[in-house]
Structure 1
């Protein structure tokens, strides 16, 4: 297409009467190239002014309400005549653009947008922007072009951007060196701004200080438990290692599962003791003890029971002065200067405290004296010097019912974190009745039952064919005459709640059952129909109309039971049954 129009320009460019056709054809060519989406660079292959007209029409955008083009070219009126060309020069007086004959002589003129120079032959471009002969609006900027001008829409760019070709482009502060990064940091350009980063990024295990240097990270101090239980964290350069803790335990102890402490071995529970037949094994810290009859003690080495020296075991409690052991018992005596009193224990003494043998307080005792210390101190082995006492570790008496916490010069008692509060005496733990205080979480359809250190939410529901006559009692409805299963079911189901501690002495009678009222000739049979799979409970008939339930096995850990105790009553030839549904709660005895 370009070649065809270029040829047309050559052919018709020689004829002045064809100039308007050439201009229109060049413009049509530019419009067609623009509609096909092709570039406008083809103007360089066309002669002047066809190339100028082609470029103007190719680059011009349609104006309308949806136009977004910032350039609005302004065209001068099309030339009315073209100079004749031939052999590379103008035939009529050497005019550079247009030539016309006036009075028989050639006169040169220029196209619109050009002006004639002083030589009368050459044309130069007119700067419409400088001469203020353009038609741009106040919001537009005039830009001069060869033979014409264009109007650019003035664009204001935000900070970090600059206007280029009517478009706001990002300013690279790093290249232009307009950033404020220090010498230890490196500028990194971002859209509309920049960031200052370290020149050298630290590898894993290191971090950068304020001077840009990479220093080691102490993972053992910064991380939360980097190593699992039973391991020690050791920091290394750039990393850390985990080393397993080694615990060496003495005989009678073994390492805990987490490997951080030694715990006692219960030889009685594991069956590793050597107590003889009839002897009772009692576990001790690091060892165990075999009990014999009263007044004797088991010798683990010889495996025999030896006489107990009560004077050594209970010093200062049996005799005021000297205690002499006897087979199975003991005898009190006095040293020189003392005589045995009528009671066989006490001796008359001298008041040694008059000589001030103690550094603090002295109390006279029979035949001797005793030094005492202020509260929070204990008497050392020399019998005269006082030192701060750790009441809890020394286990002096029953200080606290649950836990003793030593404090400087004294001690404090503590209770379990839940279910108990400290009593007014500061030593005893008092159970919190969650049911009374309303701190339980039982629903509206449940009944709260208080226990030592806790509570239970109980539901007393009646089975089918029963109606609830009270909070804890269900009565059987009338049975059809042909329903044998219904007639054999219990007439009444009553709920009970019992609470005991793990140190209860067994066997223990925990419940009695019988008809009320009872009549002469009544006979009952009782038994546990549900909940006694492990055999912790048993029943016993006390008489013809009374039965009892016993706890016959020791429950060593807190546990809940729900047992059904059925009582069958034979009265005047009729057999009926009743069920006592009993909740048995075994709580800890440690408090």
Structure 2
């Protein structure tokens, strides 16, 4: 169509340049008609060309738009799914960037690895994949007096040595004392008479024997708690039960101190303890309940094993914040000014707790729990503050989503005083909303009753 229009134009131009050929050229009406047709053809061609350009431009714009959306939207906006824990569980289902997942182990198992993991911008998880390891309850040697420990799930059992019983083989079996008899030949009836000891050898730890003659043989016996002294059947000496059963197979008679007496023994306890009804164990005296203490009015009496402690709680002095005592064992921060960011970063409260424990307490063991009653944020974090001594004996673990627990990880030899601080932080989308400090003081006694 475009070629025919060009041909007509060329022909008309030739006729106009050479009027001598007018007879052969088309008349003017035909020429005007042809020009109108050519004009229509050119207009139609121009319209079609412009429409094609517009369609091509739209396709290019759509292609650019779809390419930009695919580039801005990642193929996967979540971290990979985490493996489930054997003998444990996972807290948190969201795998989106910035979300946190916590791990817990069932009772009798300890967590090895990261307690919590966060989905990072790189779509990878922070920390290491944790696992739950069986706790060896026999690691702390809980069985006493030669007992054999058998590790079980979340518990242990003791196979006691001969002469001992109890959960930890702590109690000796009852021992019966049999009166010893010495037999010697008698040549005359006079030898059967009871012998009277000289005054110099008589005393509470020496007794005369009781002899009788049967068919020409003399039998001598002693009172309970005494025995024939060597070859002299006429003298009975006291049995030192404390020495005899100190390291014997039957074990110790007393849990603390054994005192030998004439014909027997008695058990004594250290200061701060009384002998129990069984006569061999010791029971702590509660000096706070019986008012056998010298604590002042502004102090609180804390009963400990074998004694007591007078404590006084004073609110901490921290720059940019002030605290007021709301109870004998709790201090809370006064409201912070709106423009004081340093104040808002300080702990919201301090709580003080005191524990009394015996020496060499078996571990691991839960000593204290911290929880949130009405959480505001979406995440709670628990951590331990303090020095090397506290970290050597304690650690902080999560027992559920809202609770953290202070764990004793190694036995402590008393007497000693240990302090540990547990911090609970409340967060909303990884932004801190509040901090709460719990200070735990543990008084370890000198004895293991």
TM-score (norm 1): 0.35
Structure number with higher helix proportion = 2
The structure whose RCO (Cα within 8 Å, separation 6+) is larger is: 2
Structure with higher Rg: it is: 1
